[in-house]
A = this chain, B = another copy of it.
Amino acid sequence: MTGNRRAALTAIVSNREIVPGTFLMAFEEPRLAAEVRPGQFLMLSIPAAHDPLLPRPFAVFNREGPRVEILYRRVGKGTGRLAGLKRGDSLRALGPLGNGFPLPAPSVASLVLAGGVGIASVHLLLLHLLKHQSVPTTLLYGARSHQEIIPLESLEAQGLRIHIATEDGLRGVKGTVAALLSTTPALWEDGAAASTEAFVCGPMAMLRAVVARLNRPGIRTHVSLESRMACGYGVCQGCAMPFKDKENPERVRYRKVCTDGPVFTADEIPWGKTEAS
């Protein structure tokens, strides 16, 4: 396989604001669509533009045949430029990158927790679980406001149990995903087998709160982390974050979020010491 991979040069098929501030972009790239596993990501850039200079990391939200879909929130310069792209505009996509989520055995109960646009990183996982698990899968999904909640009817139709929390309280429970988790523990325990795999993606504060609450016997928690990235494929060392050193759990060791992650088990992360990203 030496030397024959390339960053794909592709063209936007569609790009629209599906809820205020959040966009769904699609392009066709059969290889990426075929290869990508849940939790992996792409580095996206605009070929001719030098501002921003660096590509930006995005999870693959969905795939359908040759089509790849990205769900992203407009937060700064790079996502602002993406939001301005129109059908036919060209895009460079490198990937799929990262380790992705470890996929549980079909009989294992799965609990997925997403905060905000973190839903993008777990969406392919949800599709996988709905297709392969013999036990029900639950999604706890929180957002700042009810307007930010991405419609997930088709997942619900496939049997996903969705519980929503919004900070404005106008949809689902008022509060955060973490609150949802602790105030209604029965939510996810009822269907849970002896062991549960939890998958979490969202802002650092949410991760911290959720992981603390999931820290109990029988639950293994996988967290998809974010970090500022320059390359996304392991060469710049820019994305390093501190993790527990296996040999000496009191010390930290820098590991790369892009190639060692972005998915880590919660117990690898020194929660007290981790930088808010």
Least distance between A12 CB and chain B CB atoms (Å) = 13
Partner of A51, one of B50, B80, B86: B50
* Residues of chain A from 19 to 51 with CB closer than 8 A to chain B in the complex: 48-51
Number of copies: 2
The reply to whether B51 and A49 contact each other, CB–CB distance below 8 Å, is: yes
The CA of A80 and the CA of B51, in the complex, are separated in Å by 15
The CA of A189 and the CA of B48, in the complex, are separated in Å by 50
The CA of A23 and the CA of B133, in the complex, are separated in Å by 57
Least distance between A45 CB and chain B CB atoms (Å) = 13
Question: How many residues on A have C-beta within 8 angstroms of the other chain's C-beta atoms?
Answer: 6
The reply to whether B86 and A48 contact each other, CB–CB distance below 8 Å, is: no
In the complex, what residues of B have CB within 8 A of residue A80's CB?
Answer: 48
The CA of A86 and the CA of B89, in the complex, are separated in Å by 12
* Residues of chain A from 43 to 68 with CB closer than 8 A to chain B in the complex: 48-51
Nearest residue in B to A50 (C-beta to C-beta)? B51
The CA of A80 and the CA of B86, in the complex, are separated in Å by 16
Bitwise, A70-86 to B at CB < 8 A (1) or not (0) is 00000000001000001
Least distance between A26 CB and chain B CB atoms (Å) = 19
Least distance between A64 CB and chain B CB atoms (Å) = 27
The CA of A50 and the CA of B50, in the complex, are separated in Å by 9
Partner of A86, one of B49, B50, B86: B86
Nearest residue in B to A48 (C-beta to C-beta)? B80
In the complex, what residues of B have CB within 8 A of residue A48's CB?
Answer: 80
In the complex, what residues of B have CB within 8 A of residue A51's CB?
Answer: 49-51
In the complex, what residues of B have CB within 8 A of residue A49's CB?
Answer: 51
Least distance between A254 CB and chain B CB atoms (Å) = 32
Bitwise, A84-113 to B at CB < 8 A (1) or not (0) is 001000000000000000000000000000
In the complex, what residues of B have CB within 8 A of residue A50's CB?
Answer: 51
Least distance between A46 CB and chain B CB atoms (Å) = 11
Least distance between A90 CB and chain B CB atoms (Å) = 11
Least distance between A101 CB and chain B CB atoms (Å) = 36
The CA of A86 and the CA of B87, in the complex, are separated in Å by 12
The CA of A50 and the CA of B48, in the complex, are separated in Å by 13
Least distance between A173 CB and chain B CB atoms (Å) = 39
The CA of A51 and the CA of B52, in the complex, are separated in Å by 9
What are 5 pairs between A and B in contact, CB < 8 Å?
A48-B80, A49-B51, A50-B51, A51-B51, A86-B86
Which residues of A are interface residues toward B (Cβ below 8 A)?
48-51, 80, 86
- What are the 5 A-B residue pairs with the smallest beta carbon separation, nearest first? A51-B51, A50-B51, A49-B51, A86-B86, A48-B80
